Amino acid sequence: VVDTESQESHADYSPLLRVSGFLTHFGVLVPLATLGIWFTWSERGRLWWLHALFGVYALSVLAFYVVARYRLPLAPFVIVFAAVPLVRGRAWLRTRPRLELAPPLFIVAAVTVFCNWPAVSAAEMNAVTYHNLGTTLQEEGRLDDALAAYRRAVALDPSYVPAVNGLGSALRQEGQLDEAIAQLETAVRLRPDFADARYNLANALSERGRLPEAITLYQDLLDRRPDAVDAQSNVDVHSNLGIALAESGRMDEAIDQLRKAVALAPEAARPHYNLGHALLTRGDIRTAVAPLTRAVELDPAFVPAREDLASAYMANRRLDLAVEQDREV
């Protein structure tokens, strides 16, 4: 199985790999290698080390790892033994009685069925690849390409929730809020415990102006993981919940959430700015100066924080400091 990318997805871009992957995969090579071991069994005194290396490594993969790349070192052993029936097969068939053919052919048939039995969905593994591709493209700002990759992943496996969530996230980033909400609602319905989908859905609802639904989702997220205290877990949830509450006119609750975000990420400029902006909006001009000053200290190029800080200084009649901030802006 795959954890990041599947061979089939690479074959989508390579006719050579598409053909060779169809003709020379393990489901073809291993049955041939089985027959090759049967043909050479009488020579095991000379070839025992090949048998041993093949068997020991195969057992180590079965015992510890089933990811495809760890199986790759088996390929040289498999190819060596698979070549034997191609070289000796015709002569062997001519010189053996028909009854003697039955046992190896039965074994090869059983191995062929076993090696080609679909243990994991190829479409699902392909969907993983295209989801990861979409994520990388989205991080690089190539939204159109990311959307195409996410759509391919969802087409391959509509139940693969990370891909549905990724598609919704990219659509939201492109401003297609209605379609984004539809995709993210599907992701949440498919997997209610998937926090990323709930968070992205709350953000999309908030941007669409559906604030009560967004607030409910943010609060639900916090209820689901109350013990998460690292800066990368709940700080954005508290921040965005605070912003949504502020836009709903619930300023006291908003400021409470924004203070929690600052407590979780005291070295990040954005939470300090969000808190200062909310305090300024509520009219707490003196109180707003401290978080806005801290935001500017943490990120001197944070223009909105400097603009709000200049406004706070203006309201406090500290005109020289306001001018200083405006000059920096």
What pLDDT, on a 0 to 100 scale, did the predictor assign at position 254?
94
Does residue 203 register a pLDDT over 60? yes
SS3 306: helix
In the numeric block, the tokens 């968070």 are attached to: 199
CA 141 to chain centre: 16
Task: Determine the Cα–Cα distance for residues 200 and 185; give it in Å rounded to an integer.
Answer: 10
Q: In this structure, are residues 168 and 180 in contact, taking their beta carbons and an 8 Å threshold?
A: yes
Q: In this structure, are residues 295 and 272 in contact, taking their beta carbons and an 8 Å threshold?
A: yes
Eight-state DSSP code of residue 2: -
CA 282 to chain centre: 40
Task: Determine the Cα–Cα distance for residues 306 and 281; give it in Å rounded to an integer.
Answer: 15
* Tokens linked to 30: 């291993």
pLDDT tens for 8-66 read 888 889 999 989 888 888 899 999 999 999 889 889 999 999 999 999 998 998 888 77
What pLDDT, on a 0 to 100 scale, did the predictor assign at position 230?
53
* Tokens linked to 59: 């057992």
SS3 322: helix
What pLDDT, on a 0 to 100 scale, did the predictor assign at position 227?
59
Out of 42-46, 204-208, 233-237, 261-265, least confident range: 233-237
Task: Determine the Cα–Cα distance for residues 102 and 97; give it in Å rounded to an integer.
Answer: 10
SS3 299: coil
What pLDDT, on a 0 to 100 scale, did the predictor assign at position 7?
83
* Tokens linked to 42: 């009488």
Mean pLDDT confidence for 84-113: 85
Q: Which of 127, 129, 178 has the alpha carbon at shortest distance from 153?
A: 127
Cα dihedral 56, 60, 63, 65, rounded to 10, equals -150
Report the predicted TM-score, pTM, of the whole model to 2 decimal places.
0.76
Q: Average model confidence (pLDDT) for the chain?
A: 90
Q: In this structure, are residues 187 and 203 in contact, taking their beta carbons and an 8 Å threshold?
A: no
Alpha helices, H only, the chain: 7-11, 15-23, 26-39, 44-64, 68-71, 75-95, 98-116, 122-139, 143-156, 161-173, 177-190, 195-207, 211-224, 235-247, 251-264, 269-282, 285-298, 303-315, 319-328
Does residue 232 register a pLDDT over 90? no
Q: State phi, psi for 190 to the nearest 5 degrees.
A: -70, -35
Q: In this structure, are residues 32 and 86 in contact, taking their beta carbons and an 8 Å threshold?
A: yes
Mean pLDDT confidence for 304-328: 90
Eight-state DSSP code of residue 250: -
Which residue would you say has higher pLDDT here, 19 or 67? 19
Does residue 228 register a pLDDT over 60? no
In the numeric block, the tokens 């990318």 are attached to: 5
Mean pLDDT confidence for 155-164: 94
Does residue 105 register a pLDDT over 90? no
